[in-house]
Amino acid sequence: MSLQGKVAIVTGSGAGLGLAYAQELAAQGASVVINDVDQTTADAAVASIEAAGGKAVAVVAPVGSTETAEKLVETAVDSFGGLDILVTNAGILRDKSLLKMSDEDFDAVINVHLKGTFTCVRAAYQHFKTEGVAGRIVCIGSPTGQRGNFGQTNYAAAKAGIIGMVRTWALEMKRAGVSVNAVIPVAATAMTKTVPYFQKAVEADEQGEPMPDFFRKGLGFGTAKDAAGVVAFLSSDAVDGITGQVIGAGGDRLQIWSHPESVVSEYHDGGWDYETLQSQGGELLRANLQSVGESMPELPPELEPTS
């Protein structure tokens, strides 16, 4: 199931996870449109793919607007003759707790992550439908969008929204033969580099050494390349008929995330009015509280961060 002859767009692919996705797609035979907001970064990404024998071009533009989305599709068609794969990875962070988060902080993250995913998928799907392409769309989510995380109201909203759109698009695109899935990567990135808990894992990655098993096996935390293989697989013909799924990728672990389902259903004759809820609702809810956020196991002494 080679990607030879396929054409892919990867947003936010100048560095980090996005670059790893683009490089893996190219290694499997796809021609790739790189996207970044910095020309030097984008050029370096293209050069890295070409040096490995692949084909790539760059579009330097911020993701979010319809203009950028259409330019990405046009560049794929003009440069490589078509479009088969879209990976929506572009994103920014503006982390602050709720009362410190400004409108600008919220809007900036929503525009790049959520609106940028929407506009790029819409433009790609329009091409797929017009040209009769059974395309592949991979949208990048986050554990934060699944579980929540302190200080990330904007990011959590965007990533949760992306998963909602993926499920909706799986329904809308099914007849066209387009597969749309989400990947939840857990990997060493610029963000995790700043978290002391992951210090030893990130240091090992930067030094080209294997990450400790505590991270790779216990936490499912790994390198960008670990997640890149999953993205490339979901971009291939092998996933025909697999759509609307949320796949976790990190370290030695692969996950299939469940879609939200009710855990308890209780019925009361005449409905649940205020008085009934006062007498029975609290007990029912407290007996079935669902967890929020991620809970991490205690680090072994040898993996404790150093100053």
In a domain, 106, yes or no: yes
Q: What is the mean pLDDT of residues 274-298?
A: 94
In a domain, 287, yes or no: no
In a domain, 168, yes or no: yes
Query: What pLDDT digit, counting tens, does each position of 23-39 carry?
Result: 999 999 999 999 999 99
Residue of 119, 86, 115 lying closest to 18 (CA atoms): 86
What pTM, to 2 d.p., does this model score? 0.95
Question: By the 8 A CB rule, do 8 and 86 touch?
Answer: yes
**Least trusted range by pLDDT, from 19-33, 182-196, 218-232:** 182-196
- Which pLDDT value is given to residue 119? 98
In a domain, 68, yes or no: yes
**Could you give the residue numbers annotated as active site?**
155
| Terminal alpha carbon distance of the chain | 47
In a domain, 200, yes or no: no
Question: What is the CATH classification number for the domain harbouring 141?
Answer: 3.40.50.720
168 lies in which domain range?
7-187+223-256
- Listed in sequence order, the residues at least 6 apart from 84 whose beta carbon sits closer than 8 Å to its beta carbon are 6, 7, 8, 30, 133, 135, 136, 235
Residue 195 has pLDDT above 90, yes or no: no
In a domain, 50, yes or no: yes
Q: How many CB atoms lie within 10 A of CB 160?
A: 18
In a domain, 174, yes or no: yes
Residue 1 has pLDDT above 70, yes or no: no
In a domain, 278, yes or no: no
Q: What is the mean pLDDT of residues 91-110?
A: 97
Q: Tell me the β-bridge partners of 164.
A: none
pLDDT tier for residue 88 given thresholds of 50, 70 and 90: very high
Q: Is 249 in a helix, a strand, or coil?
A: strand
Average per-residue pLDDT in the chain?
95
Count of structural domains within the chain: 1
The pair of structure tokens assigned to 206 is 């930067």
